[in-house]
């Protein structure tokens, strides 16, 4: 472990290591710093210098200068680089988990079991794609060539920060692109550790450049920058729209992974005792701060009482507490603004007349500081309620009744979002049919294992484009036809 990793883990960020440009760490050109707040204690644990537009320009210049050589590297070299990055993430898993727990409140057990290993899996998946991907195919005498799109601006969120960094950086590198990365200013410390891993893995100078800063300043500048060929953003719908508008002037490609309000449809033959606890925990994983979390549990009206009782018992057994405690299941919400949003939406659900099964307003008993939220379940929720339509992004679940399967599908699709979905049912053919009728980018049948190669992305206002596996790599490629090639 390097001394830089030790200092970041301790929260002491060297101001001379605010930016990573052209293979070297350096200070930002502005004296403005951004506080990093521990959501468990509400204390400032680090100050990180904010980049300026001039810093971004230097990063783009470095990325453009590195592009010709890196895009021409043999596929085997890029695969070997990704394999070294993967190995170093696993080797440094514990300091990564500790930083994630400290800066965004993930329970340390969840950081160790999910945040870090799933982030590593994205790198592994990109390396695996390169083992067989056909960058040149023939159609008669015409060659179809897939080439790197160029310099990519990557904007990542605060809720799954390392996971989303690797989901973008790994396929971009696999494609042969160079990168300018802007992590969320609310949880940026893990990005410093990841950048050290990239450096230590032997990433050529200029291939990865890190600029820290706010979305309104650096994110907007990236989207409008003529030297950036593509933007990939994971974030709120508001941020996604603003990025797309700014990027339109230079006609760059924009991929967006945005909000969600994912349904979990229980068919009449669903194994309720098994599926309800899994559904509650899926909705509440990462303290409910997952864009694809199945936060609308759509169940047969005749089974509402049974579902409510099991859901209440499941939520009641969840340990909410200090994220550094290995027994904690849910830590705090990652930041104050989101904590206040969750509290406001719980108040809305109560005011709208939804039945409060458990949880409610305020912090859990015994918690006077920190952005802790009581795991909250509403029942009798109707599709017109705000809690059924708006993304809450906290541990809040809505149970919604239906009378027939057509109505269940209609409720599932009655949202502006279309990111994820779940279907529970013993009759697999009927479950498959319902899955095909749900308009989302992913559907999970009976809580299957996670697949890092399955394409992930949204219909409707949940975004454009896909991530993960070969589909993620192809977002970073252009298609060229060479006629008369054979």
Question: Please, are residues 464 and 255 in contact by the beta-carbon 8 Å criterion?
Answer: yes
Helix, strand, or coil (residue 365): coil
Helix, strand, or coil (residue 230): strand
DSSP state of 453: T
Reply yes or no on whether 398 is catalytic: no
Residue 398's DSSP bridge partners are: 296, 378
Catalytic residue among 103, 257, 391, 467: 257
Angle between helices 116-132 and 75-91 (to 10 degrees): 160
Which residues, 6+ apart, have CB-to-CB distance to 276 below 8 Å?
A: 297, 307, 310, 311, 314
Tokens of 66: 């590195």
Helix, strand, or coil (residue 373): coil
Distance of CA 408 to the CA centre of its chain: 28
Distance CA 96, CA 110 (A): 12
Residue 21's DSSP bridge partners are: 24
Question: Please, are residues 272 and 309 in contact by the beta-carbon 8 Å criterion?
Answer: no
Which sign, positive or negative, has the C-alpha torsion 259, 444, 288, 121? Answer: negative
**What's the farthest any 2 CA atoms get from each other in the chain?**
74
Helix ranges (H only) for 318-368 are 336-351
Catalytic residue among 291, 308, 391, 475: 291
Tokens of 360: 């409610």
Reply yes or no on whether 257 is catalytic: yes
Could you write out the DSSP letters of every residue in 396-414? EEEEEEESSHHHHHHHHH-
Distance of CA 117 to the CA centre of its chain: 14
Pairing mode of beta strands 396-402, 296-300: parallel
Active site residues: 257, 291
């Amino acid at each position: 472990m390097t001394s830089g990793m030790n200092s970041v883990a301790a929260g002491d960020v060297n101001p001379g290591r605010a930016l990573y440009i052209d293979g070297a760490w350096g200070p930002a050109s502005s004296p403005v710093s951004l506080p990093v707040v521990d959501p468990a204690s509400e204390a400032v644990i680090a100050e990180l210098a904010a980049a300026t537009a001039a810093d971004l320009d230097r990063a783009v210049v470095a990325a453009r200068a590195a592009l010709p050589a890196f895009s021409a590297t043999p596929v085997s070299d890029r695969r070997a680089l990704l394999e070294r990055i993967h190995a170093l993430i696993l080797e440094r898993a514990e300091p990564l988990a500790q930083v994630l727990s400290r800066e965004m409140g993930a329970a340390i057990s969840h950081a160790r079991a999910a945040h870090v290993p799933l982030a590593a899996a994205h790198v592994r998946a990109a390396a695996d794609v390169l083992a067989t991907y056909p960058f040149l195919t023939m159609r008669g005498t015409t060659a179809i060539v897939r080439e790197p799109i160029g310099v990519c601006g990557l904007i990542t969120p605060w809720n799954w920060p390392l996971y989303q960094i690797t989901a973008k950086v790994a396929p971009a590198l696999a494609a042969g692109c160079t990168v300018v990365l802007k992590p969320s200013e609310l949880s940026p410390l893990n990005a410093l550790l990841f950048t050290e891993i990239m450096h230590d893995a032997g990433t050529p100078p200029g291939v990865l450049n890190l600029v820290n800063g706010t979305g309104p300043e650096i994110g907007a500048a990236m989207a409008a920058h003529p030297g950036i060929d593509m933007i990939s953003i994971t974030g709120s719908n508001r941020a996604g729209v603003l990025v797309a508008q700014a990027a339109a002037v230079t006609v760059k490609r924009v991929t967006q992974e945005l909000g969600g309000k994912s349904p979990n449809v229980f068919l009449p033959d669903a194994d309720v005792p098994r599926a309800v606890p899994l559904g509650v925990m899926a909705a509440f994983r990462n303290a409910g701060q997952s864009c694809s979390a199945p936060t609308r549990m759509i169940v047969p009206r005749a089974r509402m009482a049974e579902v409510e009782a099991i859901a209440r018992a499941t939520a009641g057994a969840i340990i909410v507490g200090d994220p550094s405690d290995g027994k904690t299941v849910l830590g705090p919400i990652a930041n104050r603004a989101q904590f206040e949003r969750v509290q406001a939406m719980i108040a809305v659900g109560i005011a709208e007349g939804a039945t409060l099964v458990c949880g409610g307003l305020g912090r859990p008993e015994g918690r006077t500081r920190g952005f802790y939220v009581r795991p909250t379940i509403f029942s009798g929720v109707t599709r017109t309620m705000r809690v059924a339509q708006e993304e809450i992004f906290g541990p809040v679940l809505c149970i919604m009744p239906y009378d027939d399967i057509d109505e269940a599908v209609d409720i599932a699709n009655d949202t502006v979002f279309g990111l994820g979905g779940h279907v529970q049912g013993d009759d697999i053919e009927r479950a498959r049919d319902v899955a095909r009728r749900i308009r989302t980018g992913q559907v999970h049948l009976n809580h299957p294992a996670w697949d890092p190669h399955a394409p992930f992305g949204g219909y409707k206002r949940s975004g454009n484009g896909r991530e993960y596996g070969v589909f993620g790599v192809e977002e970073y490629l252009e298609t060229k036809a060479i006629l008369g090639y054979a």
